Chain A
């Protein structure tokens, strides 16, 4: 019956999944049998007792025994199902004491994660295989909901209070995190990646912010492209010149361009402007767009910012001329623990 389970339910990623799926499949079979019974009776009777002129129907007003039977049996079934569901839910409701605690701050439309050591990430979260993890969640604006289908957990995130959810990841790899409480136009773009690492990979991630950094020969622009996906920039900014409906300006061809702001001033898109746009997004708003970008202050490491700047630069100059783009990019700093080689440009 595994094929049937996997047809209806996502892959199992946590210790909850097995039990939830068992209840689901149990109910599926029970309800399936009941439905077939109802359908067979309704269609069967309509056929078996189809209209014949002059046939007299029996005057059956009621049958107390039968009616008690079909009241009591469903009641007993319901009591059993209630306790079956309660059993799994009790585990979901109480996190074990030794669980690692990760803070989640949700806002339109960004996931922000903070680890016990102060490390912060956006839209990507790493947890350790077979170690329970507890999320303490709050929202900066409206309701959101932390939903990880593979883990079979979900809980609303409420501004002004803390809610919790926990699980023990049992399958390594990447799982999908998705917002399940309607939060406006970017609701369906509020996605994050949950990566289940083994202990060693997790430590590496905590130190460097990404295992790709291992590849010291990576160009800053390539590194920036990874950040573009990972930090959620791609939710609102395209790189092909198209305008994302609920987002900001495309990055294609903006480098070195004089951009018109909503206060009428023109600003040169250079490294300082791009940096300011990430740290204080409300400082300057491009004309025709809404001031909706959240700040990335504290969410980006220095080398990540520089990678993003390099990436924007690589997307091309303004084709209509304008002043040449100043080259102010410095090399990314050496990653912690790495010596010798660094992510310099030009070498392959």
Chain B
């Protein structure tokens, strides 16, 4: 079905070249020493998907343990409270630091961004490879930390619990520190690439919106990640040398840690969601075959979200002991985030209006994103509002809210983007029917799992609870059943994508009729991306039948 789309594209197919970036050189060594952004992107993709699998398995265990209040499965106790605390910590740490943060920028961004700009590579190819190796070192350290005595601090490492608990906290914190540098390297690289390597004729407002999103993300990565690095260093110093920074027994202040932590980790939420939004801004015009409505507004909203993300960290701490004035100010600032988010949502819908919409798998993910991110964003209002946040914070309501944003938003967009660029990356089309089935199952399972958790939270069920009151059991059980549906959907999706790799190359250059430059080269692209330097002739998302002079 997908192949028939080629005729809809305005850009004609070239004969497929014999040599492409995948077969230009052979052997493990050629991959390990590559400076090709496409190969590094693919290696990152393999890495983050492995992390996603691990984090996902931990998530399924968390849900399985909560199936009933006694944690019984086939007459046995599945896990103790200590194990449970370790499992949810590992789920959080892996998903946040090893998967979501690098997922879209480092894997898909690395592959697509230079192609979209019409560049041969990123600005600093060796730095790019160094970033990947830092990620690997960080990931190996994190995995070692799990094998040699797992940590039980939660992914937030709140002091003084994290400075006093046993386990390999120092190792894990150093792992996250190194992962942070991997993120910074990627960010620096993308900022330089966007500034210097745009194709002739491509001004700032001729860039695809994906590039705008990744660029905004890169700015946050460069500015915010060092704060996390410093904070975690201080934490390690306190643990190892008993220097009193955060632990009141040593004269420190535990609330200071929270300020430092969220000064990074709130912007980090935008490191996670902005690239997701950026993918959606590609998918919707392409599959609606209509120009992006309000291009500039969407581009500016990415940048303004990036800037706003730095001044709202205190909304994680309304009841944590910060000053009351700060709480009021942070609440007010937090509401500002709703404006650019809303602008994006309205512009995406405006783009679909009067479009010519086909529902291939990537577009199904885009619509799934609109609904799930809609719920995630709107429930954020409950948490930004002071009086309701006091009741809802630290409950399952928060758990549900951020899963709607992080998973319903970022992960759904990531998988949508993966399906969108899969033909470009691998040269193969996957089975559309199974792709759609996976998407629908994940959508249903996701809502079963997390919609219930809003009710658990508003009823007063705190998060990170091993034991819970019997009254919550039905909702917990339903949530667990939902997690199995997500698992099934993900499995079908994974098998479907992997199965396509067994086929010979069959993807056309431009299977979806995309207008951005990555579709102007072969699938998979040649080693240096383009036969000759592409020149931008039309603005992105221009679907007018007759070419109009740019």
Which residues of chain A come closer than 8 Å to B371, judged between CB atoms? 38-39, 42
User: What does DSSP make chain B's interface, helix, strand, loop or mixed?
Assistant: helix
Which residues of chain A come closer than 8 Å to B339, judged between CB atoms? 71, 74-75, 78
Which residues of chain A come closer than 8 Å to B359, judged between CB atoms? 46, 50-51
Which residues of chain B come closer than 8 Å to A150, judged between CB atoms? 460
The smallest C-beta distance from A158 to any residue of chain B, in angstroms, reads: 5
- Cβ of B25 under 8 Å from chain A: no
- Cβ of B319 under 8 Å from chain A: yes
- Cβ of B390 under 8 Å from chain A: yes
A49 to B359 Cα, complex, angstroms: 11
Which residues of chain A come closer than 8 Å to B385, judged between CB atoms? 23, 27, 81-82, 84-85
A71 to B339 Cα, complex, angstroms: 6
Q: What are 7 A-B pairs with beta-carbon distances under 8 A?
A: A49-B288, A58-B290, A89-B328, A89-B386, A147-B460, A159-B160, A163-B321
Q: A154-B319, A188-B466 known; A45 and B357 CB under 8 Å?
A: yes
- Cβ of A43 under 8 Å from chain B: yes
- Cβ of B204 under 8 Å from chain A: no
A67 to B543 Cα, complex, angstroms: 22
CB within 8 Å of B: which of A68-88?
Answer: 70-71, 74-75, 78-79, 81-82, 84-88
- Cβ of B33 under 8 Å from chain A: no
A31 to B383 Cα, complex, angstroms: 13
A199 to B514 Cα, complex, angstroms: 74
* Contact in complex: B164, A142 (CB < 8 Å): yes
Please indicate which of the listed interface residues B77, B347, B387 has the most CB atoms of chain A within 10 Å of its own CB: B387
* Contact in complex: B379, A31 (CB < 8 Å): yes
Chain B residues engaging chain A, CB cutoff 8 angstroms? 8, 77, 80-82, 85, 152, 154, 158, 160-161, 164-165, 248-249, 253-255, 288-297, 319-321, 324, 327-328, 331-332, 335-336, 338-339, 342-343, 345-347, 349-350, 352-359, 363, 367, 370-371, 374-375, 378-379, 381-382, 384-391, 393-395, 455, 458-460, 462-469, 542-545
The smallest C-beta distance from B536 to any residue of chain A, in angstroms, reads: 17
A39 to B447 Cα, complex, angstroms: 14
Which residues of chain B come closer than 8 Å to A31, judged between CB atoms? 378-379, 381-382
- Cβ of A289 under 8 Å from chain B: no
Q: A39-B374, A62-B297 known; A156 and B289 CB under 8 Å?
A: no
* Contact in complex: A187, B321 (CB < 8 Å): no
Among A175-183, A265-273, A305-313, A318-326, the stretch in contact with B: A175-183
Please indicate which of the listed interface residues B342, B345, B460, B542 has the most CB atoms of chain A within 10 Å of its own CB: B460
CB < 8 Å neighbour of B459 from A10, A53, A85, A89: A10
* Contact in complex: A78, B319 (CB < 8 Å): no
Which residues of chain A come closer than 8 Å to B158, judged between CB atoms? 143, 181-182
Chain A 89-109: CB-based contact to B (< 8 A → 1; otherwise 0)? 100110000000000000000
Q: A154-B319, A182-B464 known; A58 and B354 CB under 8 Å?
A: yes
Given contacts A58-B290, A145-B394, A246-B80, list 16 more A-B pairs with CB under 8 A.
A23-B387, A24-B382, A31-B381, A31-B382, A46-B352, A51-B356, A57-B355, A58-B354, A71-B339, A86-B331, A152-B390, A161-B321, A180-B394, A182-B464, A183-B161, A184-B152
Which residues of chain A come closer than 8 Å to B460, judged between CB atoms? 10, 147, 149-150, 176, 178
Which residues of chain A come closer than 8 Å to B292, judged between CB atoms? 61
Which residues of chain B come closer than 8 Å to A194, judged between CB atoms? none
Q: A38-B374, A57-B288 known; A78 and B468 CB under 8 Å?
A: no
* Contact in complex: B367, A42 (CB < 8 Å): yes
A156 to B389 Cα, complex, angstroms: 13
* Contact in complex: A179, B357 (CB < 8 Å): no
- Cβ of A299 under 8 Å from chain B: no
CB within 8 Å of B: which of A169-218?
Answer: 176, 178-189
A55 to B459 Cα, complex, angstroms: 50
- Cβ of A56 under 8 Å from chain B: yes
* Contact in complex: A188, B467 (CB < 8 Å): yes
Which residues of chain B come closer than 8 Å to A63, judged between CB atoms? 293-294, 350
- Cβ of A331 under 8 Å from chain B: no
Q: A59-B542, A246-B81 known; A182 and B254 CB under 8 Å?
A: no
- Cβ of A20 under 8 Å from chain B: yes
Q: Using CB atoms, name the residue of chain A closest to B348.
A: A42
A59 to B393 Cα, complex, angstroms: 45
Chain A residues engaging chain B, CB cutoff 8 angstroms? 7-10, 16, 19-20, 23-24, 27, 30-31, 34-35, 38-39, 41-43, 45-46, 49-53, 55-63, 66-67, 70-71, 74-75, 78-79, 81-82, 84-89, 92-93, 141-143, 145, 147, 149-150, 152-156, 158-161, 163, 176, 178-189, 245-246
Q: A49-B357, A58-B290, A189-B467 known; A71 and B388 CB under 8 Å?
A: no
A53 to B513 Cα, complex, angstroms: 13
The smallest C-beta distance from B321 to any residue of chain A, in angstroms, reads: 5
Which residues of chain A come closer than 8 Å to B342, judged between CB atoms? 70-71, 74
A62 to B296 Cα, complex, angstroms: 9
The smallest C-beta distance from A3 to any residue of chain B, in angstroms, reads: 14
CB < 8 Å neighbour of A20 from B77, B255, B387: B387
* Contact in complex: B324, A93 (CB < 8 Å): yes
Which residues of chain B come closer than 8 Å to A182, judged between CB atoms? 85, 154, 158, 161, 463-464
The smallest C-beta distance from B236 to any residue of chain A, in angstroms, reads: 18
Which residues of chain A come closer than 8 Å to B249, judged between CB atoms? 159-160
* Contact in complex: B393, A154 (CB < 8 Å): yes
Which residues of chain A come closer than 8 Å to B319, judged between CB atoms? 145, 154-156
A74 to B377 Cα, complex, angstroms: 13
Which residues of chain B come closer than 8 Å to A46, judged between CB atoms? 352, 357, 359, 363, 367
CB < 8 Å neighbour of A85 from B8, B294, B387: B387
A89 to B329 Cα, complex, angstroms: 13
* Contact in complex: B338, A74 (CB < 8 Å): yes
A46 to B290 Cα, complex, angstroms: 13
**Which 8 A-B pairs give the minimum distances between C-beta atoms?**
A149-B460, A160-B248, A88-B387, A85-B385, A89-B386, A51-B358, A245-B80, A188-B465
* Contact in complex: A185, B82 (CB < 8 Å): yes
Please indicate which of the listed interface residues A163, A183, A187 has the most CB atoms of chain B within 10 Å of its own CB: A187
* Contact in complex: A158, B374 (CB < 8 Å): no
The smallest C-beta distance from A170 to any residue of chain B, in angstroms, reads: 16
Which residues of chain A come closer than 8 Å to B165, judged between CB atoms? 184
Q: A34-B378, A156-B319, A183-B161 known; A85 and B324 CB under 8 Å?
A: no
Q: A143-B158, A245-B81 known; A59 and B544 CB under 8 Å?
A: yes
Which residues of chain B come closer than 8 Å to A16, judged between CB atoms? 387
The smallest C-beta distance from A239 to any residue of chain B, in angstroms, reads: 17
CB < 8 Å neighbour of A153 from B289, B338, B390: B390
The smallest C-beta distance from A37 to any residue of chain B, in angstroms, reads: 9
* Contact in complex: A59, B291 (CB < 8 Å): yes
Please indicate which of the listed interface residues B8, B292, B391 has the most CB atoms of chain A within 10 Å of its own CB: B391
Q: Using CB atoms, name the residue of chain B closest to A33.
A: B378
Q: A31-B378, A45-B352, A61-B291 known; A188 and B388 CB under 8 Å?
A: no
A84 to B332 Cα, complex, angstroms: 11
Q: Using CB atoms, name the residue of chain A closest to B287.
A: A51
The smallest C-beta distance from B360 to any residue of chain A, in angstroms, reads: 9
Which residues of chain A come closer than 8 Å to B389, judged between CB atoms? 85
The smallest C-beta distance from B70 to any residue of chain A, in angstroms, reads: 11
CB < 8 Å neighbour of B294 from A62, A142, A161, A245: A62
The smallest C-beta distance from B479 to any residue of chain A, in angstroms, reads: 16
A226 to B469 Cα, complex, angstroms: 20
* Contact in complex: A23, B388 (CB < 8 Å): yes
The smallest C-beta distance from A161 to any residue of chain B, in angstroms, reads: 7
Please indicate which of the listed interface residues B152, B253, B339 has the most CB atoms of chain A within 10 Å of its own CB: B339
